[in-house]
Amino acid sequence: MPRPRATWQSSPRWNPFDSPEQTKSMRVIIRETGLEASEYIADYIISRIKSFKPTENQPFVLGLPTGSSPEAIYKTLVRHYRAGDISFKNVVTFNMDEYVGLPRDHPESYHSFMYKHFFSHVDIPPQNINILDGNAPDLAAECAAFEARIARHGGIELFLGGVGPDGHIAFNEPGSSLSSHTRVKTLAYDTILANSRFFGNDVNLVPRMALTVGIQTIMEAREVVIVATGAHKALAVEKGLEGGVNHMWTLSALQMHPHPLIVCDRDATLELKVKTVRYFEAIEQTGTDARTQGPPLVYRPRTYVPAPIGASRSQQQVTPASTPPKVPKDLRINTELNQTLDDDELTPDSMSSRMVDSAISGLDSTMKGDLLFDRMGARVVSH
C-alpha cells in the first residue's frame, strides 16, 4: 500500500514550516517539580484548544502519549474539565503508539492507559479517539491507515509527547529514521528494561514490538510539546537540546521543528549546561511566555469536511478486528457520573457503568467482545 502523503505537503494551510519566521524557535520551560511542569503543559493545551475554538466540523486535533510522565497532565486536564474550564467534545485525538500483541484490555496496553487516565473522565466522543491496533493481523496496513486518518483530519495541531531515558520519542528508538512514519518498531533493550516496571519488573513480559508514529509523523504536527521530568531523563534532554540532530537521540529531531516546546522539571535539566538553563529561564523571565508564543493556530477553511465517522475508520476494515463502519450517533462516554477527583490516581471504578448505551462498540469489535471495561473496572483497586 503506498504511503499516504501528509496533508501539509499538498495543502499550504498545513505546512508547519510555513509560519512567520519570528515565531519559530525552540522553547524550553523549566519548573521546579514534575507536578508544576505537568500543570504548565495542561494549561498550555487548554489555552491552545480554547484559542482554536474547535467545532464539530473543525475539531482540534491533538496527539497524545502514554507513560508515567503525562499522568499528572491528564489528571490536571480532567480537573479542569470537571471545573467546566474546558471541553473535549470537539477534540480528535491520535495516540503515539501501542504495544504489538498485548491484549487490548491488558492493564498495561496503551488503550487501557488512555481510558483509565483520560478518556473515561472527559466528554470526548469515542469516535474521535484514534489508537493504533497492535493486534491487527496486517500491522503495516494498520499503520498506513493511521497515517491516512491523520491526513484526513488535516494533520495534528499539537502533538504532546514524552521522552524515554534513551532519548526516544513515541517508540522511535535510537537509530530510527528521522524521516519515518507510522510503522512497526522493535523495542530497544533499554526501553524493555525501563518499561518492565509496569510488568512486575519481569522483562520477559514486556512486548518486544510496538506500533509507533514516526519521527516525521511528529515533525508534521503543527506544534510539538514534550514533557521531561526526573533525573533519569536528564541525559536525553541534554542530547536532545544541546547535542546535534542525531538519530541516536530521536528527541533531537525537534531541533528541526519550527514550533517545539520542551517542558522540564529541575531534575531533568541536571545534565544541561548552567548557561543553557539560564538562557531559557531568561527568555521566560523577559515575558515571552510560551503560552503566548506558540505558532499561529490553524483555522481550517469553513469548507473543511471531516471524514464521516464510519469512513474515518474504514481503512481499518483491512482487519476483522476493526471498528464497525457505522457508529451510532448517540454513543458517548457518560461524563455525568460525578466521580470525585481526589488523591493519587484517577480510577475509573467501573468503566462500563460510565458508558451510555455501549460506547465501546464505537471503538472496536474486539474490545466489545472482550467486555473490556467490565474487566478493567474489576481490576482497578479504589483508593
Which are the catalytic amino acids?
97, 166, 168, 173
With CB under 6 A as the contact rule, which of the stretches 66-74, 141-149, 176-184, 278-286 interacts with ligand GLP? Answer: 66-74
* CA 237 centroid distance within chain: 19
Three-state secondary-structure class, residue 172? strand
Q: How far is the CB of 58 from ligand GLP (least distance, A)?
A: 28
Q: Given the complex with ligand GLP, which of 162 and 306 has the nearer CB atom?
A: 162
* Interface with ligand GLP: number of residues (CB under 6 A): 14
Write b or e for each residue in 201-211: b if 16 or more Cβ atoms lie within 10 A of its Cβ, otherwise e: eeeeebbebbb
Q: Which of 54, 63, 67, 294 binds ligand GLP (CB under 6 A)?
A: 67
**CA-CA distance, 193 to 190, in Å (whole number)?**
5
With CB under 6 A as the contact rule, which of the stretches 62-70, 201-209, 298-306, 310-318 interacts with ligand GLP? Answer: 62-70
Q: How far is the CB of 376 from ligand GLP (least distance, A)?
A: 20
Degrees, nearest 5: CA angle 313-324-158: 30
Is 324 buried (19+), middle (13-18) or exposed (0-12) by CB count in 10 A?
A: middle
Is 68 a binding residue for ligand GLP by CB under 6 A? The answer is yes
Say how many Å lie between the first and final Cα of the chain, rounded.
48
Specify the DSSP class assigned to residue 160: E
Is 134 a binding residue for ligand GLP by CB under 6 A? The answer is no
Is 96 a binding residue for ligand GLP by CB under 6 A? The answer is yes
Q: How far is the CB of 110 from ligand GLP (least distance, A)?
A: 8
Q: Given the complex with ligand GLP, which of 65 and 294 has the nearer CB atom?
A: 65
Is 186 a binding residue for ligand GLP by CB under 6 A? The answer is no
Question: Where does residue 292 fall: left (phi above 0), alpha (psi -120 to 50 degrees), or beta otherwise?
Answer: alpha
Q: Given the complex with ligand GLP, which of 163 and 298 has the nearer CB atom?
A: 163
Q: Which of residues 112-131 bind ligand GLP (CB under 6 A)?
A: none
Q: Which of 7, 95, 191, 312 binds ligand GLP (CB under 6 A)?
A: 191
Q: Which of 7, 58, 69, 95 binds ligand GLP (CB under 6 A)?
A: 69
Q: Write the binding mask 192 to 231 for ligand GLP: x where contact by CB under 6 A, - elsewhere.
A: ---x------------------------------------
Where helices occur in 153-298 by DSSP H, the ranges are: 189-195, 215-219, 234-241, 274-285
Q: What is the DSSP string of 243-311?
A: S--BTTBGGGGGGGSSSEEEEEEGGGGTTS-HHHHHHHHHHHHTT--GGGSSPPPP---TT--PPPHHH
Q: How far is the CB of 215 from ligand GLP (least distance, A)?
A: 13
Residues 87, 89, 90, 94, CA torsion sign: positive
Q: Which of residues 28-47 bind ligand GLP (CB under 6 A)?
A: none
Say which amino acid occupies 260. P
Which one, of 247, 98, 101, lies nearest residue 182 by Cα? 98
CB atoms near residue 169 (< 10 Å): 30
Q: How far is the CB of 85 from ligand GLP (least distance, A)?
A: 25
φ/ψ of residue 239, rounded to 5: -65, -35
Three-state secondary-structure class, residue 98? strand
Q: How far is the CB of 77 from ligand GLP (least distance, A)?
A: 16
Q: Given the complex with ligand GLP, which of 190 and 370 has the nearer CB atom?
A: 190
β-strand partners of 225: 160, 261
With CB under 6 A as the contact rule, which of the stretches 1-9, 63-71, 274-282, 311-319 interacts with ligand GLP? Answer: 63-71
Q: Write the binding mask 145 to 174 for ligand GLP: x where contact by CB under 6 A, - elsewhere.
A: -----------------xxx-----xx---
Q: Write the binding mask 316 to 355 for ligand GLP: x where contact by CB under 6 A, - elsewhere.
A: ----------------------------------------
User: What does the block give as the cell for 57?
Assistant: 466540523
β-strand partners of 362: none
> Are residues 383 and 345 in contact, defined by beta-carbon separation less than 8 angstroms?
yes
Q: Which residues are at the interface with ligand GLP (CB under 6 A)?
A: 65-69, 96-97, 162-164, 170-171, 191, 195
